[in-house]
Amino acid sequence: SGGEAYKDALSFLRPHGAVVLVGLPKDTYITAEVFGSVLNAHRIIGSYVGNRQDSIEALKLAAAGDVSTTYKIEKLENLPDVFERMAEGKLAGRIVLDCDQPARRVVQSASKSIVGAHNVQCRCGNCVQHPMGCTCPRCQSRSFSVKSQSHYDIPKTQTAVVFEKNNAPLQVRKDWPVIQPDELKPGEVLVRLAYSGVCHTDLHVWLGDWPLDNKLPLVGGHEGAGYVAAIGDHSFTHLKIGDPVGVKWLANSCLGCEDCRKGHESTCVDADLHGFTVDGSFQQWCVSYSEHVTPIPTDLPMHAAAPILCAGVTVYKALKEIGGVCGDFVVIPGAGGGLGHLACQYARAMGYRVIAIDSGEDKKKLVASYGIKDFIDFKEGNVKEKVFEATEGRGAHATVVVASGGEAYKDALSFLRPHGAVVLVGLPKDTYITAEVFGSVLNSHRIIGSYVGNRQDSIEALKLAAAGDVSTTYTIEKLENLPSVFERMAAGKLAGRIVLDCE
C-alpha cells in the first residue's frame, strides 16, 4: 500500500512483462518511459476487485487447500486498535474480526497448509479472444506484371542511399557493392528490390534520435518489396528464385530462445534489424534471411505491399493487443499520418468503431475516404469532450497512439472508459506517459507497449491488404529522392506514405 513500491516496478520486468497495479497508496503515480515500453512491449495494468465468478473460483481454491491465509482472529471491538496498527505497518498477514457468528467455524476450517496455487484461466474464453470481426473480402480487380524471374543477372554495384554518420548528409551512391550469390551464408537470401516504403523510424535512425547505436555506414530502410534473386548454399528453405517477398524491420532472430518460441521474435536478444544493425531497403539489392522474409500475395502490387511491411504490420499487431470485440470504440491520435491511415483501416476491418484525431482538412478528407465519420481536430476545442461525445459519453475502449509527436501521449489515458487500454506505438524522443495509480486501479486501465509484429502478424496484415480490406495512400518517388522525403517528413508535410521506386 506504500507508494515507494511502484517506483521501480517496471525495472524488474523482462520483455513482454507486466506491472499489475493493486495497492492504492494516496497521490501516487507510475511513470513509464515510452521508448523502452514500446521496444520491450511492457504493460501497465490496473486491477480492481474481481467479479462474481472470480470470487467463486478463489473460494474453491481455498476450500481445496491450495491457498491458505495467514491471519489472527480478534474481537470486533478491537477494530480501532487494528486500524492504528495497520496505519503504522505493524500487521503481518490479515486480521479477522470475530462477529460471533457460526460462519467462524467455516473460516477456521478453510485455513489449511499452504500448497502452490494453480493457474486459474478463464473458462469461457471470451475475455482472451482477439476477434477479427467481419472481414468478408471486397476483392478489387488488379492488373500488374509480376517481375518475377527464374534467373537474375546480378551486377557488382548498385544504387543505394547511404550515410556515414548519424545526421550526416545522405549520399546517393551509384557504386555501392552488391553481395554476390557465392558470398551468401546458409539461410541468407539476396532480394532484388522493386520498391521500398519510407518510415518515420528511418528518419529517427538517420538523425540518431534513439539511445541505441546503429550500424555505420548504413543503408537505411525496412519496407522493401522485391523478389528472391539468390539463395545461400546449404539453406533449408521453401523459397524459390523469383518468389515475391518482403524485407521488413526484423531481419533475423535465433528462433530458439524463449521469446522466439512464444512468437515474440522482435525482442530476441540476437535479433538483427534491417536499416539499423544490418543494411536495409534503400538500395536495389538487399541481403536478408530466408526464415524472416515475408511472402507477398501475388495479387497485391509490390508498391502497395511495401508500406504494409512495417506500418501495416505494426498497427495491425497493436490493434490485436487491445483484445476487444466488434463495436468497441478505438481512438487513434495521428490518424492521418503514415501509420495512422493504416491503423484506421485495420481497425475498421477488425470491427472497431474509429475516432480519428489529427489536424488539417487534407487529413480529415483522407480519413473520411475510409468511411470514418468521427474526426477530431486536436487544434480545435476540447478533444477529451469530443471523444466522450463520440463514444456514448463513456470514453473509448482503447487509444492507439501512432503519432510521432510526444504531445499525443499527454491525454491518451483521459480518453478511456473503465477497462480501457492505451497502446503505445509511436516513438517520440524523450517521451514519458504518466498514470495516476488510484484512477488506473479503480478503472482497471492498461498501458501496453507494442513493438513490431511477428512473422504471422506480417502474413495476416498482407492478406487483409490483398483482400481489399486495407489500402495504402502513397506517392511513388525515385530512390534518389530520399533526402527530400526526409526533409518533408521532418517538417510534417507528408500525408500518407512515400514509396521509393528502386528500379
pLDDT reported for residue 149:
65
Supply 378's cell numbers. Answer: 486536436
**Helix residue spans in 358-427 (DSSP H):** 361-368, 383-390
The rounded average pLDDT for each run of 10 residues, N- to C-terminus, in the chain (503 residues) is 87 95 92 93 94 87 86 92 90 89 44 31 30 30 40 92 96 97 96 96 93 95 97 93 97 94 93 98 98 96 96 97 94 93 96 96 93 96 96 97 90 97 91 95 97 95 96 93 95 84 93
Please work out, in degrees rounded to the nearest 5, the angle formed at the alpha carbon of residue 251 by the alpha carbons of 239 and 240: 10
| Residue 396 grid coordinates | 473509448
* DSSP class per residue in 3-35: GGGGTTGGGGPPTT-EEEE----TT-EEEEEHH
What pLDDT was estimated at residue 68? Answer: 87
Q: Alpha-carbon distance 250 to 304, whole Å?
A: 20
Q: What does pTM read for this prediction?
A: 0.80
Q: What is the CA radius of gyration of the chain?
A: 26
| Residues in Cβ contact with 48 at an 8 Å cutoff, skipping those fewer than 6 apart | 441, 442, 443, 444
pLDDT of residue 92: 84
Say what the pLDDT of residue 150 is. Answer: 61
Position 472 scores a pLDDT of 87
Q: Within 13 Å, how many C-alpha atoms sit on residue 153's CB side?
A: 0
Name all domains of the chain by residue range, CATH numbers in brackets: 1-48+314-454 (3.40.50.720), 52-99 (no CATH), 157-295+473-501 (3.90.180.10)
Question: Which residue in the block uniquely carries the three cell numbers 524472416?
Answer: 292
Distance separating alpha carbons of residues 475 and 145, to the nearest angstrom: 19
Taking the C-alpha atoms of residue 444 and residue 442, their distance in angstroms, rounded to an integer, is: 6
- 220-250 b/e (C-beta count within 10 Å ≥ 16 → b): bbbbbbbbbbbbbeebebeeebbbbbbbbbb
Q: How far apart are CA 314 and CA 311, in angstroms?
A: 5
Q: What is the pLDDT of residue 131?
A: 29
Measured between alpha carbons, how far apart are the two ends of the chain, in Å? 62
Does the N-terminal peptide bond of residue 307 adopt cis geometry, omega within 30 degrees of 0? no
What pLDDT, on the 0 to 100 scale, is given for residue 148? 55
